[in-house]
Amino acid sequence: MTQLETFRNQKDLFFETDQHSPLTAEQKSSFDGLNYFPENNELRLELKIEEFETKESIKMQTSTGDVQDYVKAGKIHFTVKDELAELTVYQSHHGYFIPFVDKNGGKVTYGAGRYLDPPLLDNGQLEIDFNQAYNPYCAYNENYSCPLPPSENRLSVAIEAGEKNFK
Q: Residues 111-122: pLDDT tens digits? A: 999 999 999 999
118 falls within a domain: yes
Q: Is the pLDDT of residue 167 over 90?
A: no
Q: Predicted confidence band at 145 (pLDDT cuts at 50, 70, 90)? A: very high
Number of domains in the chain: 1
pLDDT at 1: 84
Please check whether residue 16 lies inside any domain of the structure. Answer: no
Check residue 2 and give its pLDDT.
92
Q: What are phi and psi of 25, to 5 degrees?
A: -60, -40
The string of pLDDT tens digits covering residues 9-59 is 999 999 999 999 999 999 999 999 999 999 999 999 999 999 999 999 999
**Residue 163 in this model has a pLDDT that exceeds 90:** yes
- Where b means 16+ CB within 10 Å and e means fewer, 44-66 reads ebebebeeeeeeeeeebebbeee
Q: Is 4 inside a domain boundary?
A: no
Range of the domain at 80: 41-153
Does residue 101 fall inside a structural domain?
Answer: yes
Tens of pLDDT, residue by residue over 61-90, are 999 999 999 999 999 999 999 999 999 999
Q: Alpha carbon of 167 to those of 39, 64, 69, 134: distances in Å?
A: 19, 22, 31, 14
pTM for the predicted model, two decimal places = 0.95
- 160 located within any domain: no
* Residue 29 lies inside a defined structural domain of this protein: no
Q: What is the pLDDT of residue 101?
A: 98
Quick check: 163 and 34 in contact, CB under 8 A?
A: yes
What pLDDT, on the 0 to 100 scale, is given for residue 33?
Answer: 96
